[in-house]
Structure 1
Amino acid sequence: MQQSTRKAMEDRFPRLSEEVELDEKWLPLIDYLSTFGLKESHFIQMYERHMPSLQINVCSAKERLEYLLSVGVKQRDVRRMLLRQPQILEYTVENNLKSHVAFLMSLGIPSSRFGQIIAAAPSLFSYSIENSLKPTVRYLVEEVGIKEKDLGKVVQLSPQILVQRIDISWNTRLNFLSEEIGAPRDSIVKMVKKHPQFLHFSIDDGLLPRINFLRSIGMCNADILKVLTSLTQVSSVFASSQLSSGQRRSFTNCG
């Protein structure tokens, strides 16, 4: 690197220069990514998470990010996506990005929601469609019991459901709710369909304390199950301030 160029980069990015061996070839990419609001501290995070992401040719990076913007990703979400999944700069449009977007379409997800799903789960692109994503979908249909026509709605409600170990989360929560409140399988399936976020909640720190709270206000197991499967949003169950006195009365008829 020429001395003047090195000095200019060190002046612009003193922390980055101190922590990594800067290459002048990175500068066009860094300048481009800066237009999405990335700062010096963000480039350090990207370097620490996945160093090769800063070695991508700026033209290739532009092509990939512009494609994501074209399918609905918001410019304001690009920075957060890159910090979570800097490898996204390496995923080619033809061999990766388009095929994964087509996969979302195959689930019945409207194109207007692609950007939201990608922003929420950018690691989606790191998973093989044939070896990971399709088996996850099959598991949701064949083991959990989600109907194929409902898959798109479930993924829209919780995009992370495609990139987590569904078999582990499903089985542990199925067993927990069956044992804790006597929930039948079809009720738990209904819960997952309406609130797939349920599969992300910790049992010990999330589900059990809330169930105990509902018991403390006089609800029996049947009431608790009705609440979990009937309220519009899971957060309504998990925040006592959102459970109105009317809702409490409507679900406290143990008889």
Structure 2
Amino acid sequence: MEEAIHIRCLNFAQPPPSPSPSKHEFLPYHLHKFSTSSSRKSHPRHPIFVAKNLVIAPRAPVSFPELPRKSPSIPIDTSFPFREKMLFLDSVGVDLFALVEDHPPIVSASIAELRAAVDFLVSLGFSSMDLRRMCGMCPEILTAGGPSAFNPVLTFLLREAGVQSSDLCYVISRRPRLLVSDVAGRLRPTLYFLQMLGISETARHAHLLSCSVEEKFLPRLEFLQKVGFSSRDARCMARRFPQIFCYSIKANLEPKLEFFTGIMERELKEIKKFPQYFSFSLEKKIKPRYRLCKENAVFFELPALLKPSDDEFQRRLEVCVGSSTPLRRSPLWKEGLSDDYL
């Protein structure tokens, strides 16, 4: 090397005095490639080599940001908009945080808007428990616009749908979405469709008025025709049991029809006479009672199979098991009784 670097060997036994913190510090370097056999002999311990004339800039002092001091607890400021809304809704039994996820616009709603909606519903006779359940089902009622939005709906239900004033709270409590449904675009067309089907007592089925004809009613009628019912039969079933419009096709109608025609091997005309079949649980009632009848070689028509309570059904089953098969000319004989039950 053209410029020699002066190296001073320091022994661990006699370390040099520590430099003052205010002076420049010299950093140690382990230069093992300079450790020769001669150096090991003269210095049994491993030496530390320090560049003597290597100038290193002093370390800059580290400055840490000053941590904020813990502020003393301050009283709750109820004038803050969100907190004010939270406290107001909590006073009537409604949890604001439980509604935010399903209906985010409630965060930006004014306290005056919320108060107008709640005061109007309370004036109709709804309790705090009713409000909690209704807002959970349809949080939009809090931001719909209050009395200005509710009055047209109430007028329609009373004058056109035939709902009695004494039943108004029951109808709204069962289907609070009625209050946020457009009268001209949703409620009135649905009412006309139900009347076209022949459902004259529309007040009994007022909860269906908030449903869409195109998205709810027509797809179920088309499904019934697809599986084998005629158009007339499908309308007759809907007229006999309008609640069928509320059931899911994939989760209710399809599996129950497949079990009825595939496992039970029975004809669709029974469901035409008793469309309430779709209202019973497949796993808890239809399958268990069918298996009991099959194991005991007993045949029940759908109303006798599903409508009785568990105790009444068990008594009827025991009577049939302990009795002889009726003659064909007997009025107790059921048409469609297969040979498996004889």
TM-score (norm 2): 0.55
Q: Which runs of 5+ in 1 are unaligned?
A: 10-21
SS for the counterpart of 2:192 is helix
Provide the residue aligned with 1:19 in structure 2: none
Query: Offset at 1:103?
Result: 1.1
- Structure 2 CA distance, aligned partners of 1:6 and 1:55? 25
Provide the residue aligned with 2:4 in structure 1: none
- The correspondence of residues 44-83 of structure 1 with structure 2, limited to 5 A, is 44-58=97-111, 60-83=113-136
- Structure 2 CA distance, aligned partners of 1:24 and 1:118? 33
- The correspondence of residues 100-139 of structure 1 with structure 2, limited to 5 A, is 100-106=153-159, 107-139=161-193
Checking the alignment, whether the CA contact within 8 Å between 2:114 and 2:142 is kept in structure 1 is yes
SS for the counterpart of 2:211 is coil
Query: Offset at 1:7?
Result: 6.5
- The correspondence of residues 18-29 of structure 1 with structure 2, limited to 5 A, is 24-29=80-85
Q: Which runs of 5+ in 2 are unaligned?
A: 1-70, 294-298, 306-333, 338-342
SS for the counterpart of 1:118 is helix
TM-score (norm 1): 0.71
- Structure 1 CA distance, aligned partners of 2:241 and 2:100? 36
Q: Does 1:8 align with 2:8?
A: no
The one-letter code sitting in structure 1 at the alignment partner of 2:336 is: C
- Structure 2 CA distance, aligned partners of 1:100 and 1:5? 48
Q: Does 1:213 align with 2:259?
A: yes
CA 1:189/1:152 → structure 2, altered by over 3 Å: closer, same or farther?
farther
Checking the alignment, whether the CA contact within 8 Å between 1:146 and 1:193 is kept in structure 2 is yes
Residue by residue, what CA displacement relative to the aligned partner does 1:32-53 show, whole Å, maximum 9, x if unpaired? 21134334xxx23433343442
- Structure 2 CA distance, aligned partners of 1:242 and 1:196? 25
Query: Offset at 1:124?
Result: 2.4
> Among the aligned pairs, what percent are the same residue?
19
Provide the residue aligned with 1:171 in structure 2: 218
Residue by residue, what CA displacement relative to the aligned partner does 1:88-123 show, whole Å, maximum 9, x if unpaired? 223344421122111111201122332233233333
Provide the residue aligned with 1:151 in structure 2: 202
The one-letter code sitting in structure 1 at the alignment partner of 2:279 is: S
Provide the residue aligned with 2:90 in structure 1: 34
Checking the alignment, whether the CA contact within 8 Å between 1:103 and 1:129 is kept in structure 2 is yes
Checking the alignment, whether the CA contact within 8 Å between 2:153 and 2:183 is kept in structure 1 is yes
- Structure 1 CA distance, aligned partners of 2:224 and 2:126? 37
- Structure 1 CA distance, aligned partners of 2:74 and 2:105? 20
Q: Pick from 177, 186, 209: which aligns with 1:162?
A: 209
RMSD across aligned positions (CA):
3.4
Residue by residue, what CA displacement relative to the aligned partner does 1:153-212 show, whole Å, maximum 9, x if unpaired? 222xxx1x2233222433322232223233452x43343234333113222321121122
The structure with the largest alpha-carbon Rg is: 2
Q: Which moved more, 1:46-55 or 1:74-83?
A: 46-55
The one-letter code sitting in structure 2 at the alignment partner of 1:34 is: D
Provide the residue aligned with 1:85 in structure 2: 138
CA 1:94/1:33 → structure 2, altered by over 3 Å: closer, same or farther?
closer
Q: Does 1:201 align with 2:257?
A: no
Checking the alignment, whether the CA contact within 8 Å between 2:94 and 2:132 is kept in structure 1 is yes
Query: By percentage of residues, which structure has more helix?
Result: 1
Alignment coverage as a number of residue pairs: 227
Query: Offset at 1:4?
Result: 8.0
The one-letter code sitting in structure 2 at the alignment partner of 1:87 is: E
CA 1:254/1:168 → structure 2, altered by over 3 Å: closer, same or farther?
farther
Q: Does 1:254 align with 2:308?
A: no
Greater length-normalized contact order (CA 8 Å, ≥ 6 residues apart):
1
